[in-house]
Amino acid sequence: MALNRDENEAAWLTGTGEPLKVGAILNWTPGPGEIRVRNEVISLNPIEAKLQKFNMFQLPYPAVLGFTFAGTVTDVGPDVTSVARGDRVAVARWGATAREDRFGAFQKYPLALERNVLRLGDASSLEDGAGVIANLATAVSALTIHMGLDHRPATPSGGGGRIDKNGERILIYGGSTAIGGLAVKYASDAGYEVVTTSSAANEALVRRRNPTHVVDHGQPPEDVVQALRSYGPYDAILEATGSEAGTALMGRLLGASGGGLFFSTSPSPNDDALPAGVVKRWSSYSEDLVSDPARGALRDWFVGEYLPRGVQTGAVWPNPASRVPGGLSGLQDALDRLREGKVSGVKLVVYPQE
């Protein structure tokens, strides 16, 4: 029997490495501080493909994956004041919600915590909201909390005005990735000289975020390393691809000068093969920003000022959305593309109501 229009469905993960299976899930009722959302855009993230394959977070099965989505509020729980039925919102699945199926993005009618919601204006697309909310938190956390960059932009820059440089230079490897692109923009707005990398096909997209230099990472690795070294030294390094290739290249770059530290968006199988003296670090960056009570002031600035103003004005934007057809049934195809490294310069999105 076909589900009614307002009945809920999810793409379930039943075991490590198993394909997603679409099936019924409860119709949730929001509790205090919660809202229910008609999920209209799921924004895919590489970590979801890795969770399907490795279950790094030790989720109980069956599980509903998915960390970012956007849609229309259909119901609100007690004490919710900042959004109402009919509002368009983007949602990040932060905190304890990451382990509860009712908050998973891979379903038609998930719940969300009010504190993890960005209310979207009429001029902001659902795709932009879903594509920015968590990835921008990752970029801000990686650069400000973990890499120790002292400066941050007072407001997002539209790119038309002059930004005074602070004399510090950072390397962001992977400027066309979803996180890398936002990190380039954030650092550039804060006055850093940013060296980044891109394929020739995505260079125009990357340059819109105002880096100082862009290196073509389609060259042979030794040429990429030489080019990156010529623009150094760097006050900090973020490897934003989270890939084996990116890890190996950072190892070559730093190993040739006796070692050093770089941050990455993900662990990789070849981390143990890094040269002596080269250290790679990674973290659950967005959680460190939004869920750590010690970071309350930074979280308030990000959620209350930088994120909404950036999205509202269009000064902060994700990579262009690339639709994967099939609704919830198309999610497995999207995860396969991410796992196989077939996504570049775009943000995969699925429309679950199809």
Is pLDDT above 70 for 226?
yes
Asked whether 301 and 328 are in contact (CB, 8 A), the reply is no
Torsion of CA 339, 341, 347, 350, to 10 degrees: -40
What is the tens place of the pLDDT at every residue in 111-133? 999 999 999 999 999 999 999 99
What is the tens place of the pLDDT at every residue in 164-194? 788 899 999 999 999 999 999 999 999 999 9
pLDDT of residue 337: 95
State whether residue 183 is helix, strand or coil: helix
Is pLDDT above 60 for 3?
no
pLDDT of residue 58: 81
Spatial separation of the C-alpha atoms in residues 306 and 316, rounded to whole Å = 9
Spell out the domains of the chain, with CATH numbers in brackets.
Answer: 7-119+320-350 (3.90.180.10), 137-287 (3.40.50.720)
CB atoms within 10 A of CB 199: 15
Is pLDDT above 70 for 157?
no
Chain centroid offset of residue 97 CA? 17
* Cβ-count burial 108-141 (b if 16+ within 10 Å, e if not): bbbbbbbebbbbbeeebbbbbbbbbbbbbbbbbb
